[in-house]
């Protein structure tokens, strides 16, 4: 019986099929909200109110011609999109959906799985750099270099901000952290600074405006994705969408008390909470213009990292004050 | 670090029209730039010699879509000077009205394009939505949203009714409120200001030395405007100020253009309120007497010069166009030196490039040897084109 | 100039509740003004065949051929595929026989379908003149 449940967990919900379908829904939501903020219509004609537009885009890209540059390494160039997709799908398995029993650790919920998720979410940056490097095109190389430079900016605040609630909850396991905050939700109010730092750092990780420097369309053509077309580009775009879902799921787990309840209630919880995080991401995307790479690194080391360190201090203080009460 | 040459263009998402800029860069800093023109050459000056003066009005209009009225007016003023025609006051007032409406539409377009190059897509969508108001006003006055064709030799072709005057005043009132909001936004939004401030510096002496024109010159604190220096149409009767800024960078150019928008609203309201009664055109002769003349006009991008030489027949002998963007290219190369690669689209977009206006010469360069050549047209035909039968429709 | 972070956000949020500014062409169409310069149309009874329109058209879009000299029958062809919609022909015509209508959705799949032909004669007008004198 548990084998059947594991198979359903891996392949259907919340595994492959659910992540595929939900990421296309989130892309539609993001595009529609972004368009309405700009007084436009957004996707409108494919399916009811344009909801099938991302699916149509994916299938259209699958049918397009696939070109590999002459001097590029065929094996690495072709396998990078698939490896990237595998990485983000694996990261999605650790989100605490459908976890009935917190006391028994299983293959997808164990001590330290928050670190595994954070590590898996930093690998796509390396994949982008390798994609840009192996395209042997000047614009792609420049994009790849920019991706790594940005990594030095946002990675530290993101880690500090996401680990602060874990310190208060006294556990490195996502399911336990969510459980802890479900029991005393008022402690979440102390994590507000960390929430904003994490959202801004997530926007930088997903390479959306104001941080879409690596694939700035008007400056370096396509950046890391210049030479990718057809099936490979379709997989890269799907990978970015799923990364958005997993990233906002991670923030919702740690800062918004996870997804309590049985299978159906936690499903509804997951959708509502991730849509809230994605709305904030779309709002930031519409409200700012792109900044230069040196300004971005400046900004993250002058503002984001000190705020994250301050959030760490607050977490330690909270833990010291409430320790007796919690015991 | 080693110096490499990268090509920006002829095809590039930052450019709306083909032009080749070959930059020598070291890391992320530009050391030198080289401009190659000629991708958009259409042979307009040669074609103008085989059409009559009246047909040339519409040919001049199609040099550019955004500044179409400036080319027509400049040309028509030159021909009227050759014929010795005195255009009635009402005609001149209507010409000025359409000129200022075109300036408003061009600056709003530029604001959107600059925001898009900086990555600020929301401002791009908003300014272009407000630009629709001006396009609709121009459609009511002249019958078309682009290529207004309101000029004819000797005056204008269409008159303005009372109802149209009210609509224009309503439109201007709405646009004024929106422009004040954009001024506020453009100068206080931190990501946008960080992007455009300190970028593309052009000091005052260099701007005068390299003969920059238009808002590029005025943003370097030089108060030079053809409407004040050499007034044409009725600009000597209308009170307005020349707008300058003293920061000498892209932020200064944004400020200059937004200030010019506000001045244009004032000019349009003055023109509408003081429109004199009378005729709108006088009859012009078909054959223009011999002579040559130069006419200048302040287009939204800078100073536009037309030179017309006539020989007594109804077709011009020589017609030369010097568009403002051509005068701004040397200044652009100066601005690109010691800038960042990330700033290339913004620096280039800040001069408001209208590349098809400026294409008057083609340079033939041999790709393998890098040498440039002069060839006659029959040599080109013989060497590179083969004879084909064309079917007539 | 003081910088205000998030200066744009109130305006953005207000737009969620407004109707989009897009006109969903071709399901919704905007109305054009009455003196819009669409395609040129001839009123044959007013034409005196002075050929001013043929001379002045920048795109050589108007052609007048004589079908029969004695009966004074003429054929005017307006090549709408060459027309640039400048309305110079309307202005040059001394008898106001040409006018511009408001048709702009004239796209079709062959250039030959865009030509409008008018066959008319000047006999009626000379008849009327001889009747008056």
What value does the mean pLDDT take over residues A156-165? 91
Residue A271, pLDDT > 50, answer yes
pLDDT at C131: 40
By residue range, what is the domain housing residue A305? 68-326
Q: Give me B123's structure tokens.
A: 């401002």
What value does the mean pLDDT take over residues B51-55? 92
Question: What residues of chain B lie within 8 A of the CB of C57, using their CB?
Answer: 55
**CA nearest neighbour of B359 among B15, B11, B8, B19:** B19
What value does the mean pLDDT take over residues B268-294? 90
Q: What is the mean pLDDT of chain A?
A: 87
Residue B384, pLDDT > 80, answer no
Domain count, chain A: 1
pLDDT at B52: 92
Nearest-by-Cβ selection for C20 from A33, A39, A286: A39
Contact between B149 and C37 using a beta-carbon 8 Å cutoff: yes
Chain B interface includes A298 (CB < 8 A): no
Mode of pairing for the β-strands spanning B20-26 and B4-8: antiparallel
Distance CA A215, CA B249 (A): 26
pLDDT at A102: 67
Distance CA B317, CA B72 (A): 18
**Assigned domain for A50 exists:** no
How would residue A7 be classed by pLDDT, with cut points 50, 70 and 90?
Answer: confident
**Assigned domain for A171 exists:** yes
Write down the pTM of the prediction: 0.90
How would residue B4 be classed by pLDDT, with cut points 50, 70 and 90?
Answer: confident
CATH for the stretch C31-132: 3.30.70.3270
**Assigned domain for A260 exists:** yes
Of the listed ranges A60-69, A101-110, B227-236, B338-347, the one predicted with least confidence? A101-110
Chain C interface includes B188 (CB < 8 A): yes
Give A108 or B93, the one with higher predicted confidence.
Answer: B93
Nearest-by-Cβ selection for C3 from B54, B123, B188: B188
What value does the mean pLDDT take over residues B370-375? 75
Residue A176, pLDDT > 80, answer yes
Residue B223, pLDDT > 80, answer yes
How would residue B393 be classed by pLDDT, with cut points 50, 70 and 90?
Answer: very low
Cβ under 8 Å to A: B residues 81-140: 115-123, 125-126, 129
Question: Distance from B140 to chain C by nearest Cα, in Å?
Answer: 6
Residue A320, pLDDT > 50, answer yes
pLDDT at C32: 86
pLDDT at C2: 61
Nearest chain A residue to B12 by CA distance is A221
Cβ under 8 Å to B: C residues 18-77: 21, 32-33, 35-37, 55-58
Of the listed ranges A49-63, A299-313, B277-291, B364-378, the one predicted with least confidence? B364-378
Fold designation for B44-313: Cytochrome-c3 Hydrogenase; chain B (1.10.645)
Of the listed ranges A78-87, B37-46, B82-91, B253-262, the one predicted with least confidence? B37-46
Helix (H, G, I), strand (E, B) or coil at B342: helix
Question: What is the residue extent of each domain of chain B?
Answer: 44-313
**Where do the DSSP E strands lie in chain B?**
4-8, 20-26, 29-36, 151-152, 155-156, 291-299, 302-310, 318-322, 364-365, 372-373
Question: What is the residue extent of each domain of chain C?
Answer: 31-132
Contact between C15 and A36 using a beta-carbon 8 Å cutoff: yes
pLDDT at A326: 63
- Report angle CA C80, C83, C84 to the nearest 5 degrees: 140
Max mean pLDDT range (A69-73, B4-8, B103-107) = B103-107
Question: What residues of chain C lie within 8 A of the CB of A40, using their CB?
Answer: 20-22
Question: What residues of chain B lie within 8 A of the CB of C84, using their CB?
Answer: 58, 62
pLDDT at B316: 92
Residue A99, pLDDT > 70, answer no
Radius of gyration of chain B (CA): 22
Nearest-by-Cβ selection for A40 from B28, B125, B345: B125
How would residue A215 be classed by pLDDT, with cut points 50, 70 and 90?
Answer: confident
Question: Distance from C29 to chain A by nearest Cα, in Å?
Answer: 16
Query: Which regions of chain C are under pLDDT 50?
Result: 1, 124-133
Cβ under 8 Å to B: A residues 245-274: none
**CA nearest neighbour of B175 among B270, B274, B262, B242:** B262
Residue B118, pLDDT > 90, answer no
Contact between C22 and A36 using a beta-carbon 8 Å cutoff: no
Contact between A286 and C24 using a beta-carbon 8 Å cutoff: no
Residue B319, pLDDT > 80, answer yes
Within a 10 A sphere around the Cβ of B85, how many other Cβ atoms? 18
Share of chain B above pLDDT 90, in %: 37
Measured N-to-C along each axis, helices A74-92 and A230-255 cross at an angle, to the nearest 10 degrees, of 30
Distance CA A67, CA A78 (A): 10
């Amino acid at each position: 019986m548990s084998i059947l449940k594991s198979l359903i967990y891996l392949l259907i919900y919340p595994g492959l099929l659910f992540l595929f379908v939900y990421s296309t829904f989130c892309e539609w939501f993001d595009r529609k909200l972004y368009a309405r903020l700009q007084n436009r219509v957004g996707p409108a004609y494919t399916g009811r109110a344009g909801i099938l537009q991302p699916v149509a885009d994916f299938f259209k890209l699958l049918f397009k011609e696939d070109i590999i540059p002459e001097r590029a390494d065929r094996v690495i160039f072709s396998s990078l999109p698939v490896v990237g997709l595998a990485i983000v799908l694996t990261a999605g398995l650790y989100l605490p959906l459908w976890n009935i029993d917190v006391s028994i650790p299983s293959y997808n919920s164990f001590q330290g799985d928050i670190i595994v998720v954070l590590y898996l979410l930093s690998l796509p940056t390396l994949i982008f750099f390798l994609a840009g490097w192996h395209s042997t095109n000047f614009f792609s190389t420049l994009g790849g270099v920019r991706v790594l430079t940005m990594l030095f900016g946002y990675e530290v605040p993101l880690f500090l901000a996401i680990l602060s609630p874990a310190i208060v909850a006294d556990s490195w396991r996502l399911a336990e952290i969510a459980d802890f905050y479900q029991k005393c939700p008022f402690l979440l109010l102390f994590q507000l600074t960390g929430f904003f730092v994490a959202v801004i750092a997530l926007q930088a990780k997903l390479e959306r405006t104001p941080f879409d420097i690596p694939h700035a369309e008007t400056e370096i053509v396509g950046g890391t994705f210049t030479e990718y077309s057809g099936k490979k580009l379709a997989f890269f775009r799907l990978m970015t969408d799923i990364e958005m879902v997993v990233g906002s799921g991670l923030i919702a787990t740690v800062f918004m008390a996870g997804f309590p309840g049985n299978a159906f209630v936690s499903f509804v919880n997951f959708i509502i909470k991730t849509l809230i995080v994605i709305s904030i991401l779309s709002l930031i995307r519409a409200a700012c213009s792109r900044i230069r790479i040196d300004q971005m690194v400046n900004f993250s080391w002058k503002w984001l990292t000190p705020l994250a360190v301050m959030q760490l201090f607050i977490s330690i203080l909270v833990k010291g004050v409430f320790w007796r009460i919690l015991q | 670090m080693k110096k490499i040459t990268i090509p920006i263009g002829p095809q590039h998402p930052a450019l709306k029209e083909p032009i080749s800029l070959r930059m020598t860069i070291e890391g992320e800093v530009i050391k030198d730039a080289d401009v190659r023109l000629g991708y958009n050459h259409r042979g307009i000056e040669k074609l103008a010699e085989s059409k009559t003066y009246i047909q040339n009005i519409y040919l001049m209009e199609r040099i550019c879509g955004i500044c179409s009225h400036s080319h027509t007016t400049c040309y028509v003023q030159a021909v009227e000077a050759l014929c010795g025609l005195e255009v009635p006051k009402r005609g001149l007032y209507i010409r000025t009205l359409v000129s200022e409406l075109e300036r408003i539409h061009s600056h709003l377009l530029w604001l959107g394009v600059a925001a898009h190059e900086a990555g600020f897509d929301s401002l791009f969508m908003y300014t272009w939505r407000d630009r629709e108001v001006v396009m609709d006003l121009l459609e009511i006055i002249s019958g078309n949203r682009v290529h207004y064709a309101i000029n004819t030799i000797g005056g204008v072709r269409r008159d303005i009714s009372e109802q149209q005057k009210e609509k224009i005043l309503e439109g201007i009132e709405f646009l004024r409120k929106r422009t004040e909001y954009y001024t506020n936004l453009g100068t206080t939004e931190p990501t946008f200001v960080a992007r455009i401030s300190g970028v593309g510096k052009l000091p005052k002496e260099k701007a005068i030395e390299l003969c920059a024109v238009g808002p590029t010159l005025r943003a370097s604190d030089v108060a030079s405007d053809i409407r004040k220096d050499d007034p044409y149409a009725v600009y000597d009767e209308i009170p307005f100020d020349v707008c300058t800024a003293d920061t000498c960078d892209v932020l200064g150019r944004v400020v200059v253009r937004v200030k010019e928008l506000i001045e244009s609203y004032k000019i349009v309201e003055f023109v509408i309120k003081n429109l004199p009664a009378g005729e709108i055109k006088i009859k012009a002769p078909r054959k223009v007497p011999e002579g040559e003349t130069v006419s200048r006009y302040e287009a939204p991008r800078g100073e536009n010069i037309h030179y017309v030489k006539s020989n007594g027949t109804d077709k011009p002998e020589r017609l030369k166009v010097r568009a403002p963007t051509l005068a701004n290219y040397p200044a652009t190369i100066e601005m690109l030196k010691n800038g960042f690669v990330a700033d290339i689209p913004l620096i280039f977009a800040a001069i408001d490039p209208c590349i098809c206006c400026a294409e008057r010469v083609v340079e033939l360069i041999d790709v393998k040897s890098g040498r440039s050549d002069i060839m006659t047209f029959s040599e080109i035909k013989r060497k590179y084109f083969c004879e084909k039968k064309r079917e007539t429709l | 100039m003081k910088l205000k972070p998030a200066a744009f956000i109130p305006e953005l949020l207000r737009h969620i509740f407004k109707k989009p500014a897009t006109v969903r062409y071709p399901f919704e169409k905007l109305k054009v003004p009455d003196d819009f310069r669409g395609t040129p149309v001839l009123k044959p009874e007013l034409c005196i065949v002075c050929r001013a329109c043929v001379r002045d058209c920048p795109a050589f879009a108007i052609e007048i051929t004589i079908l029969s000299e004695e009966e004074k029958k003429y054929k005017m062809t307006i090549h709408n595929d060459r027309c640039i919609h400048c309305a110079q022909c309307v202005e040059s015509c001394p008898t106001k026989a040409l006018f511009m209508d408001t048709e702009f959705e004239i796209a079709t799949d062959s250039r030959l379908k865009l030509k409008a032909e008018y066959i008319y004669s000047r006999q009626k007008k000379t008849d009327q003149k001889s009747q008056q004198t």
